[in-house]
Structure 1
Amino acid sequence: MSSNRYPDNWSEIARAIKEAAKWRCAKCGWQCIRPGEDTSHLSHSERMTKTLTVHHYNRVPEDNRPENLVALCTGCHLAYHQGGLSNVSPGQLSLDFLLQVEKRGKRKKTISK
C-alpha cells in the first residue's frame, strides 16, 4: 500500500468507517477487534484475522467519500483484491475462507460496486 496516496487524516476516516460498522466485517459479519480490546489471549494469526480494514470500492485511495468505503476483515479484504485468488495452492484460500465463515455461523454477504 502506497501511503502517499492516502490523505493525512486517513486514520480518522478509516476509524469512522469502522465505528459506523460497529467493528464488524460488511461481507462476512465477523466481529473484529475493537480499539483497546485485550488481545493477549490471541495468537498473531488470530489477531490478524480479526483486524478490520477499510476498502475503497473503486480502489482509488484518494476517493474517500463514505459511499466508496466499506469495513472488511483482513480475509475478506484480501479476497476482494485478489478476486479469490492467491499465491497458495489453488482453492486453498477460498476453502479456508469458507471454513471461517461456517465456523462463525454467518452467511456470506455480497458486496458490490
Structure 2
Amino acid sequence: MWLAVTALELLQTAPQRTDPGDAITAMLERYGPYVCYIDADTDDVPVWTETGAWVGVADTPADIGELLEAYEQRQERAGWRCECEGECGRGTHPGRCPNVHEGEAYGTGSIVFLTAAHLDHTPENVEPANLRAMCQGCHLHYDAGHHAVTRAQTRARALADAGQLAVDVGPAATPVMPPTRPQTIRALPAPATEQLLLDLPAAEGTRP
C-alpha cells in the first residue's frame, strides 16, 4: 500500500457545515516524519512515511508509537539496506539486494525508499519474523501476485454488488489460426528481346 502526494491545489473553499451529522470522521494527521490516517469509524490506523512508503497498521491510535519504534528498529537492524535475498523473484540481484535507503536504485537510478514488507501479505501481522525491510522495487515484485488476486476479488465483488453473475467459462481455449489459403504464383512472361543493328563509324587507325 502506497500514499503519494505530489501536489496540492485549492479549488474552492469548502462550505461551512451546520448539520452535526455531516461532521468529518476521517483525516490525515502528521506524526513527526510519518503520516497517519485517523478514521473515527475504526480503531485501525494506517501509517506511511512522509515520502509515501508503507509502514503498517496500528491497532489503535495509542499503538502508533509502538508501531513506529518497531519500524525504525527494523530499518536500523537492516543497516538501512534492502533485506531481500531473492524472495522478490526479480532475479536481477544475486544474493542480497544492494539498494540502500535514499541511495540510487541499481538499474534505474531512482531514489530508494525502504518499506516494511509483510511476508504473509497481512498488514496487521507486525510480528518481527513476518517483517522484512525491502526497497520499493523488491516489495512491489514480492506483492505482485497477491495484488493480482486482490484486484480479481475486488472486481468479482463489484460485479456481484451490481447484480451481475460471474460465469465460469473454464480455462481459455488455445487460439486456432485459420488455414493458410494456398497461394498461386503466376509465372511472369519472359521479357521480349530485340537486336538492334547499329551503323557505327570505324575508329581512327583501324581498318574497316
Output the TM-score relative to the length of structure 2: 0.31
Paired position in structure 1 for 2:126: 64
Deviation at 1:60, TM superposition (A): 1.5
Q: Which residue of 2 aligns with 1:6?
A: 57
**Higher RCO, Cα 8 Å, sep 6+:** 1
Stretches (4+) displaced over 6 A: none
Per the alignment, residue 33 of structure 1 pairs with 102
State how 1:16-31 maps to structure 2 within 5 Å. 16-27=73-84, 28-31=97-100
5+ unaligned residues in a row in structure 2: which ranges? Answer: 2-44, 48-55, 59-63, 85-96, 104-108, 149-208
3-state SS in 2 of match to 1:18: helix
- Taking structure 1 as the reference length, the TM-score comes to 0.54
Q: Offset at 1:22?
A: 0.2
Q: Which amino acid aligns with 1:61?
A: P
Q: Aligned to 1:6, what secondary structure does the other structure show? A: strand
Partner letter of residue 78 of structure 2? A
**Residue of structure 1 in register with 2:110 after alignment:** 46
For residues 6-57 of structure 1, what are the alpha-carbon distances to aligned partners after superposition, in whole Å with 9 as ceiling and x for unaligned? 11233222111111000010121312228xxxxxxxxxx823xx10001111
Q: Structure 1 unaligned runs (5+)? A: 35-44, 87-113
The structure with more strand, counted as a fraction of residues: 2
Q: Higher helix proportion, which one? A: 1
Q: Percent identity?
A: 33
Q: Which structure has the larger Rg over C-alpha atoms? A: 2
Letter in 2 for 1:17: R
Structure 2 residue identity aligned to 1:6: V
Task: Identify which of 132, 137, 162 aligns with 1:75.
Answer: 137
